[in-house]
Every structure is written in C-alpha cells, then in structure tokens.
Structure 1
Amino acid sequence: MSETGVWLIILCAGVGTFALRLSFIQAVGHRGMPDWLRRPLRYVPAAVLSALVVPGIVVGGPEPLDPARLAGGAVAALVAWRTRNTLWVLAAGMVVLWAVSALLR
C-alpha cells in the first residue's frame, strides 16, 4: 500500500471517530441525562483504566505472572486506595517494580 493510501485511511478513521463522537454530543448534549443512567456511568473511567492496566501487569512482562510486576501493581493499588494521589501511586509502584526486579536478577 502506498504512503498516500495509508494517510488516507488514517484521515478517514479520524474523521469517522470524530463524527461518531460528535453525533452523540449533538443528539444528547443539550438535554440532561436521567439519574438512572448517570449513576452507573461514574464507574466507566475506573473500569476502562482497570481493563487497560491489569493485562499489562498480569501478562505484560517477560513471563506471565512476573513477580516484580505483580508486586508493583499490588503496592500501587494499595497506595491508590490509601492516598488517592497519582504521583504517589506511580512512584511507589515503580520503586517496588525496580526493587523486586533487581532482587530477582
């Protein structure tokens, strides 16, 4: 496939994604959302983030169930639960990941 064809596909995918999102904003954006729908939608960001992060922890390392990744993820989850501070979560998870990786070498 030529370079122009690739860029045309990327452009079409971008326009299509934008049009799909804009259609929902235009259709429902000026009206309020019912409370029965608004309540479960609060949990969507946490569910999406979990769906993106957990597979990387469980099978994202050099081997499935890498102990360093599992330890870092567990510590990061604990720090997130206790502090709710993103910087502390990232720092604690990475320090534990690096420390356990260094110990297991």
Structure 2
Amino acid sequence: MAAQPRRGGISLPERRSASKPDSSIIARITSSPIVSRGKQAACDAAFVSKKLLRSTGKAAWIAGTTFLILVVPLIIEMDREQQFTELELQQASLLGAPPTAPAHP
C-alpha cells in the first residue's frame, strides 16, 4: 500500500535547500551596495558622535573645575569686600561722620 496524504490538518511550506540561492526581494535589498554603504555611514556617524560626546564631556569637566578653582574664590572675596565697605559706611553714619561715596576702581 502506498503512503497516502493525510486529510485535513495543515500543510507546511516547503523548506528551501541550502544549495538553492535565496532570490527573495528582501535578500536582494539587504545585500545591495546601497544598503551596505548606508550601514557603514550609520556606524561612522555613531562612532563620531560618541567621540564628540566624550570630548565634550572632558571639556565640560575642565571648564567646571577651572571655574570652581579660579572664579568662585574671586566672587567670595568680592562679596566680602562689599560687605566690609557697607559695614564701614554704616559705622561712619552712626558716628556722625559725613558719608563718603564708595570708591569703585
């Protein structure tokens, strides 16, 4: 007795053999030189942006620490000087001396 096909059920699509070239449209598009150039351009753009982000972070760190070391003490000292000048003016006004205009260099 010969093997008879089963009735009902699902029929599966035939599998492609390894020797048969894949000629689907998706395979042709993904293997095209335009797509490979696009992938390479995307990889290059990601590499450049990563390097740019890293160097920008380093520059921001240098600028921030320089600001803290050089500018913040200067701002604090200028504030102290202003408070000292205001205190002198207040004491002079209490003692009855004529007010003098603060000297601005």
Give TM-score scaled by structure 2 length.
0.28
Highest RCO, 1 vs 2 (Cα 8 Å, sep ≥ 6):
1
Give TM-score scaled by structure 1 length.
0.28
Higher helix share: 1
